[in-house]
């Protein structure tokens, strides 16, 4: 009796082991079922739902969705000039933030990767990561105080005849550039670290001036890293709605999505497709530029 | 190499096809997923469930009166503040909350979407002594069925920095008249929600009577366009639109704005910080000469409430005379409970806030949800979606 039970118990594990034995596809499948299931159902599934919802409409009073096919969301998105200008403003700001961050981040990353001592490198990494430890909202509110009419920026610039830009698209540009800077520095730093110093020495030995070395050796080799960083800064700016809400009156795509979610989710869904389309286009261009090679 | 490319391209197509099929299934299932619920009111308040999740306006759920509530009922209160009625409706759709302090521009939507249940007012003993002009109103009673318990009411304030704005304004001119408002260009603070269109409509009702505006929430196309035009002109002078109380407080405190529309909550907070702000004084009944938009708030119970007994306890607690007095004085609004007027710390509170003066409230236009049908049977009024769209366009 007892030995039978033991056999029975062992055989469950054995049977499983037998099942997987010599079947590498099944092994891999079992291993990946969880993560891939999450990706397809939880992640891509919600995107698919979003896409479907964009073709529905809404009952004006209750705000409940009416699940019948219509193109009216896309029609108003295309036909009403206000949405075009909001989309354009958002893309423009995202590009500007990306450019600003790239220009600021490159020298810092280069110094970290190639020039700084071990200690200096560690200090810089901590310095760059430190802001990420504090809450996003605290940082935006801090900028709100800085940029206020009687704030620190006003106080610092007043003696030289300048003033705070106040709240507006400029403020959004400044705050976003600040917020996403670490996401640009770190990939570039990682990219530059991987360039062997010998290549730079070789370029110098062959008579290239520093700028030529930068242009023909360092930049091409680190370009994929810059593009990788730009994907962060660009997409984060494209999707953010809290910063615009706190430091400007201008609306960005995220704000309009937010203001429509309560009463018109299908329209919000249609609008949410805009950043997705923009991002896909951005990634295609990045691929054309060779950002995903040598990785 | 080429073979491999062809293979991965086939995999990609396979994934895309799978996704499309998945979407179609979703779209097909969609129509059966209509929200249900609602309809049933509680018959008897039982033992509390130990927890209560609320959505409220800033200053409505504060430890001063939630601590004793928790001690008495054992219902641990957790509260989520919302800045606009839209946010409240959106939060209620999650089904994770037991109740909400809804203003009149949310109640009709909540009821229409079956997000809230009727309230059996017989189970709320303190309801008997609620001011009668707050009972059975179009924003809390639908088809003769009560959907909530009144919390309190008030008017949106005109507030200004008394160092910068002289003489003290007695009219919304300072916000809306292009000539007067231009003096404060970039220093005007306006509310950031489509319901603010009603403030412009109310101004027009007073200053352009030929438009024939009756209620600022029932606007035909011509009246609506006039209000939109006024707001577009105003935009050039607006320094900042606000929807979080904290944002407006920091703007007034930092000197970014000097005049604006506000709530009592921000007014008292700024006073407390020592910022020299003023608002239409009690002698004017807190109202500029045109009157004002305002609110009459209702505690409603979610149709998906997991703690209905605690919610009924809360609805009774919040209009308990002593508590309602405390709440009203804390926020700066008129209490809903008649007996609260005997419990206020400031003995003149109820007369200052006109709690017992129905005539005063005729000049306050409580927030409502704009509907296409505004009573003339022609469905020719601008509905809520029109308001939201127009508001997006105004802000540009």
Query: Going along chain B, which residue ranges are E strands?
Result: 51-56, 76-81, 99-102, 116-117, 141-142, 145-146, 149-155, 157-161, 188-191, 238-242, 259-262, 277-279, 292-302, 334-335, 364-366
| Nearest neighbour of B254 by CB, restricted to A51, A80, A148 | A148
pLDDT class of A1 with cuts at 50, 70, 90: very low
| CA count, 13 A, side-chain hemisphere, B328 | 39
Q: What per-residue confidence (pLDDT) applies to A103?
A: 96
B4 against B225, higher pLDDT? B225
Rounded to whole angstroms, how far apart are CA atoms A286 and A231? 9
- Residues in B touching A61 (Cβ below 8 Å): 108-109, 112, 369, 371, 383-384
pLDDT digits (tens, 9 = 90+) for B340-354: 999 999 898 898 888
Handedness of CA A266, A250, B203, B368 (dihedral sign): positive
Q: What is the mean pLDDT of residues B155-180?
A: 93
Helices then strands, counting H and E runs in chain A, come out as 15, 2
Task: Select from A223, A132, A107, A137 the least CA-distant residue to A183.
Answer: A132
Evaluate if residue A3 carries a pLDDT over 60. Answer: no
pLDDT class of B230 with cuts at 50, 70, 90: very high
pLDDT class of B35 with cuts at 50, 70, 90: very low
Closest-CA distance, A102 to chain B, in angstroms, reads: 29
Token code pair at residue B158: 């005109």
Cα–Cα distances in angstroms (integers) from residue A139 to residues A131, A133, A244, B74, B164, in the given order:
8, 10, 13, 38, 30
- Residues in B touching A169 (Cβ below 8 Å): none
Cβ within 8 Å, pair B109-A263: yes
Cβ within 8 Å, pair B27-A144: no
User: What is the end-to-end Cα distance of chain B in Å, rounded?
Assistant: 52
Cα–Cα distances in angstroms (integers) from residue A214 to residues A195, A198, A205, in the given order:
12, 14, 14
Token code pair at residue B4: 């491999």
Evaluate if residue B328 carries a pLDDT over 60. Answer: yes
B330 CB neighbour count, 10 Å cutoff: 16
A270 against B244, higher pLDDT? A270
- Residues in A touching B90 (Cβ below 8 Å): 261-262
Rounded to whole angstroms, how far apart are CA atoms A108 and A182? 11
Greatest mean pLDDT among A19-23, A258-262, B2-6, B259-263 lies in B259-263
Q: What is the mean pLDDT of chain B?
A: 88
Q: What per-residue confidence (pLDDT) applies to A6?
A: 52
Evaluate if residue B38 carries a pLDDT over 70. Answer: no
Q: What per-residue confidence (pLDDT) applies to B196?
A: 95
Rounded to whole angstroms, how far apart are CA atoms B247 and B257? 11
Rounded to whole angstroms, how far apart are CA atoms A46 and A272? 12
| CA count, 13 A, side-chain hemisphere, A135 | 5
**Facing residues of B259 across strands?**
B160, B188
Q: What per-residue confidence (pLDDT) applies to B21?
A: 65
Find the range with the poorest average confidence among A208-222, B139-153, B204-218, B372-386.
B372-386
Q: What per-residue confidence (pLDDT) applies to B83?
A: 85
Evaluate if residue B37 carries a pLDDT over 50. Answer: no
Q: What is the mean pLDDT of residues A263-273?
A: 89
pLDDT digits (tens, 9 = 90+) for A143-162: 999 998 888 998 999 888 88
Q: Is A32 exposed, middle or buried (0-12, 13-18, 19+ CB in 10 A)?
A: exposed
- Residues in A touching B31 (Cβ below 8 Å): 67-68
The pTM assigned to this predicted structure is 0.79
Nearest chain A residue to B21 by CA: give it.
Answer: A48
Rounded to whole angstroms, how far apart are CA atoms B64 and B77? 12
pLDDT class of A8 with cuts at 50, 70, 90: low
Evaluate if residue A114 carries a pLDDT over 80. Answer: yes
Phi-psi region of B211 (alpha: psi -120 to 50; beta: other; left: phi over 0): alpha
Cβ within 8 Å, pair A67-B371: no
Cβ within 8 Å, pair B27-A52: yes
Place of tokens 């092994």: A27
**Best of B17, B88, B109 to mutate (most A CBs within 10 Å, chain A):** B109
Rounded to whole angstroms, how far apart are CA atoms A12 and A19? 11
DSSP at B54: E
Cβ within 8 Å, pair B22-A51: no
CB of A98 less than 8 A from some CB of B: no
- Residues in A touching B371 (Cβ below 8 Å): 60-61
pLDDT class of B391 with cuts at 50, 70, 90: very high
**Best of B12, B161, B370, B388 to mutate (most A CBs within 10 Å, chain A):** B388
CB of A273 less than 8 A from some CB of B: no
Q: What per-residue confidence (pLDDT) applies to B34?
A: 38
Query: Going along chain A, which residue ranges are E strands?
Result: 57-58, 65-66
């Amino acid at each position: 009796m007892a030995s039978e039970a033991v056999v029975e118990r062992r055989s469950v594990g054995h049977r499983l082991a037998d099942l997987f034995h010599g079947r590498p596809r099944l092994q891999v499948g079992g291993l990946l079922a969880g993560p891939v299931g999450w990706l397809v159902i939880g992640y891509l599934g919600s995107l698919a739902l979003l896409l479907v919802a964009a073709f529905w409409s809404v009952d004006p009073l209750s705000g409940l969705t009416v699940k019948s096919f219509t193109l009216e969301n896309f029609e108003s998105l295309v036909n009403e000039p206000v949405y075009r200008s909001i989309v354009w403003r958002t893309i423009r700001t995202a590009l500007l933030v990306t450019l600003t961050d790239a220009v600021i981040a490159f020298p810092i990353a280069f110094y970290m990767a190639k020039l700084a001592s071990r200690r200096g490198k560690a200090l810089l990494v901590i310095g760059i990561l430190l802001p990420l430890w504090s809450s996003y909202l605290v940082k935006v509110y801090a900028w709100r105080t800085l940029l206020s009419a009687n704030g620190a920026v006003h106080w610092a610039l007043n003696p030289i005849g300048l003033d705070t830009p106040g709240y507006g698209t400029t403020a959004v540009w400044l705050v976003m550039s600040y917020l996403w800077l670490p996401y640009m520095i770190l990939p570039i730093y990682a990219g530059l670290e991987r360039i062997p110093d010998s290549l730079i020495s070789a370029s110098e030995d062959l008579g290239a001036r520093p700028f030529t070395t930068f242009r023909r050796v360092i930049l091409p080799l680190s370009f994929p890293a810059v593009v990788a960083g730009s994907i962060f800064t660009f997409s984060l700016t494209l999707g953010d709605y809290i910063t615009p809400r706190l430091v400007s009156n201008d609306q960005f795509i995220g704000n309009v999505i937010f203001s429509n979610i309560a009463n018109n989710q299908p329209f919000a869904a249609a609008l949410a497709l805009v950043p997705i389309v923009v991002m896909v286009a951005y990634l295609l261009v990045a691929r054309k530029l060779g950002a995903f090679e040598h990785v | 190499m080429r073979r491999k490319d062809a293979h991965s391209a086939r995999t990609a197509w396979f994934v895309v096809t799978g996704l499309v099929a998945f979407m179609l299934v979703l779209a097909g299932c969609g129509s059966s997923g209509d929200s249900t619920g609602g309809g049933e009111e509680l018959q008897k308040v039982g033992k509390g469930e130990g927890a209560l999740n609320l959505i409220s306006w800033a200053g409505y759920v504060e430890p001063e009166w939630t601590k004793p509530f928790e001690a008495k009922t054992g219902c641990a209160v957790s509260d989520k503040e919302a800045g606009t009625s839209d946010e409240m409706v959106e939060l209620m759709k999650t089904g994770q909350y037991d109740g909400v302090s809804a203003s009149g521009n949310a109640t009709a939507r909540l009821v229409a979407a079956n997000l809230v249940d009727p309230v059996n007012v017989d189970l709320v003993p303190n309801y008997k002594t609620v001011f009668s002009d707050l009972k059975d109103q179009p924003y809390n009673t639908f088809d003769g069925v009560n959907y909530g318990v009144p919390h309190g009411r008030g008017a949106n304030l005109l507030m200004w920095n008394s160092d910068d704005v002289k003489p003290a304004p007695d009219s919304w001119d300072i916000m809306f008249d292009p000539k007067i408002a231009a003096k404060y260009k970039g220093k005007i603070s306006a509310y950031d929600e489509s319901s603010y269109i009603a403030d412009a409509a109310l101004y027009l009702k007073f200053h352009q009577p030929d438009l024939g505006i009756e209620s600022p929430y029932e606007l035909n196309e011509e009246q609506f366009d006039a209000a939109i035009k006024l707001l577009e002109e105003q935009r050039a002078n607006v320094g900042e639109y606000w929807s979080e109380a904290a944002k407006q407080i920091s703007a007034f405190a930092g000197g970014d704005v000097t005049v604006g529309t506000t709530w009592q909550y921000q007014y008292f907070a700024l006073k407390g910080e020592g910022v020299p702000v003023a608002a239409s004084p009690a002698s004017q009944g807190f109202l500029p000469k045109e009157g004002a938009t305002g609110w009459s708030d209702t505690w409603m119970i979610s149709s998906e409430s997991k703690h209905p007994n605690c919610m009924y306890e809360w609805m009774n607690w919040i209009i308990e005379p002593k508590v309602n007095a405390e709440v009203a004085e804390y926020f700066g609004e008129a209490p809903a409970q008649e007996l609260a007027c005997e419990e206020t710390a400031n003995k003149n509170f109820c007369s200052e806030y006109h709690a017992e003066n129905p005539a005063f409230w005729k000049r306050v236009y409580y927030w409502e949800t704009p509907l296409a049908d505004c009573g003339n049977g022609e469905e020719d009024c601008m509905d809520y979606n029109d308001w939201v769209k127009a508001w997006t366009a105004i802000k540009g």
